[in-house]
Amino acid sequence: MTARFGDAALRWAGLAAQALGWRPAEFWAATPAELATALSPPDELTAIPPPSREAIARMMERDADD
């Protein structure tokens, strides 16, 4: 591991710990895409509408633990 990579990883791990509550194992298990998604502002995520009440009810019915 180069000093440059190590310094950057330490900064990103600190940010993930502060902003997301991630522990080191969670940081190192995440892919760069997962980290970027987790740190994205909420308005970037609103392009996908939340499920409707009806859709949630169908999912709950479909996946019920009878």
Whether the per-residue pLDDT at 45 is higher than 70: the answer is no
Long-range pairs of 39-42 with CB within 8 A, sequence gap ≥ 24: 39/15
- Domain tally, the chain: 1
Instruction: Output DSSP code: residue 52.
Output: P
pTM to 2 decimals? 0.56
Write out the residue range of the structural domain in which residue 52 sits: 3-62
As a whole number, mean pLDDT of residues 4-25 equals 92
* Structure confidence at residue 54 (pLDDT): 93
Share of the chain above pLDDT 70, in %: 89
CA angle 7, 40, 15 (to 5 degrees): 30
Task: With a cut of 60, say whether residue 14 has pLDDT above it.
Answer: yes
